Amino acid sequence: MTSSEMVEDDAAVEAERQRKADVMAASAKARATNAQA
């Protein structure tokens, strides 16, 4: 595995982690909105 492949892999892992964080934030926001309704 070349270093450039490792960098791409790290970027993919980071993007997936960010996507999961966004999903969790969105669902937490939805729960808060539902609790207020």
pLDDT score for 33: 93
Rounded to two decimals, what is the model's pTM?
Answer: 0.65
Q: Is residue 14 part of a domain?
A: yes
> Total domain count for the chain?
1
Amino acid at 34: N
pLDDT score for 1: 73
Q: How many CA atoms lie within 13 A of 31 on its CB side?
A: 6
Q: Is residue 18 part of a domain?
A: yes
pLDDT score for 36: 82
pLDDT score for 15: 98
Q: Is residue 17 part of a domain?
A: yes
Tell me: the pLDDT tens digits for 3-37?
889 899 999 999 999 999 999 999 999 999 998 86
Whether the predicted pLDDT of 2 surpasses 90: no
What range does the domain containing 6 cover?
1-32
Q: Is residue 8 part of a domain?
A: yes
How far apart are alpha carbons 25 and 33 in whole angstroms? 12
Q: Is residue 37 part of a domain?
A: no
